[in-house]
Structure 1
Amino acid sequence: MGFAGKVLGVFILTFIVYVVFSGSITAYDLITGAVVALVTSLITANLVVSNPSKLFQVKRFGWLLAYSIRYFFVDEVRAHLDVMRRILHPRMPINPGIVKIPYEVVSDYAMLTIANSITNTPGTVVVDVFPEEKAFYVHWINAVVTEPEKARESVSRIFEKFAKRIFD
């Protein structure tokens, strides 16, 4: 598929993002979006795409869609409710700590997805990443476990499952 496949993949994604954020589908906006997407994809295709054949696998897109729905409507809601409960509780039951969370994914995109998912979920934030150890160090508002594998199960296992299927 080569360079053309990389450009096409980045073009499609950039064009969709442009149209969604512009909020308009007039001819002017569609042409402007196509020009911006083409220039962007020509400049960045080799930087952001290492394997163009993965871009067009419907199965990966399905996993991305399932992950997005689960993340925004289950994991985020659950975490927000937990943090609100802790804030409003008279004794503010928190047990903050930094825990080591190992990961097994291979690609940088998968690692970034897990780290962003942890950080964007209320109550946890990735404070450091050690690719050579294949581990994140995470500040957790309620560090009930400190053993790395148990912390992984509580904090990031589901994110890693989806990231591996989408990107690796």
Structure 2
Amino acid sequence: MRGVIPTALLAFITYIIFSGSSSPYDMFTGAVVAIGVGLLMGRYVVQNDAKAMNPVRWLWGVIYFLWYMLVAETKSHIDVIIRIITGNYNPGIVKVPIGVETSYAKTLVANSITNTPGTVVVDMDDKYFYVNWIDVTTLDPETAKGEISADFERFAKRILE
């Protein structure tokens, strides 16, 4: 039964947020769907129940979501818009060291990089992300990490490690 409760809880919250409704019908349907998802997927999704149910990690997840949507996305969109208007860009692929350990944390960082305008993770191995960057300002891996993934990794460590 490992992972059933955290998976069901996350599925329920996601269902209610995306349905946009808290009517009794939607709450009941969301609970049924969440319990089904938890029972079917919990043991595959959650590696450690104690970590998954830690409220501090959930709080950091909410803070990360808000920061990502309000700050990181906004800054990146503005940067890309300016580059489109001015034609000032220098695209290329850079090697960025990975500073997180777990596969979930690596996935969160890679998805955050890819979903942010101006950067796309095109490949990765155990030690590096290879990122297609709209404006390569450095080829030094550590400096590129500071500009591309350091903030994402800071949050990923608090949430998933």
TM-score band by shorter chain is: over 0.9
Alignment of 1:28-107 (within 5 A): 28-89=25-86, 92-107=87-102
Specify the alignment match of 1:137 in structure 2.
130
Mapped partners of 1:37, 1:59: distance in 2: 22
Runs (5+) with no aligned partner, structure 2 = none
Q: Larger Rg: 1 or 2? A: 1
Instruction: Report % sequence identity.
Output: 46
Specify the alignment match of 1:156 in structure 2.
149
SS of 1:93's partner is coil
Mapped partners of 2:81, 2:29: distance in 1: 43
Mapped partners of 1:20, 1:74: distance in 2: 21
Once the two structures are TM-superposed, the CA of residue 27 in structure 1 deviates from its matched residue by 2.4
SS of 1:101's partner is strand
Superposed CA offset, 1:35-91 (max 9, x none): 1111111010111000010122122122212212221111111111111111111xx
Aligned residues: 161
Runs (5+) with no aligned partner, structure 1 = none
Moved over 3 A (4+): none
Mapped partners of 1:23, 1:67: distance in 2: 21
In the alignment, structure 1 residue 121 sits paired with structure 2 residue 110: no
Mapped partners of 2:45, 2:139: distance in 1: 35
TM-score normalised according to structure 1 size = 0.91
RMSD: 1.2
Once the two structures are TM-superposed, the CA of residue 113 in structure 1 deviates from its matched residue by 0.7
Once the two structures are TM-superposed, the CA of residue 31 in structure 1 deviates from its matched residue by 1.8
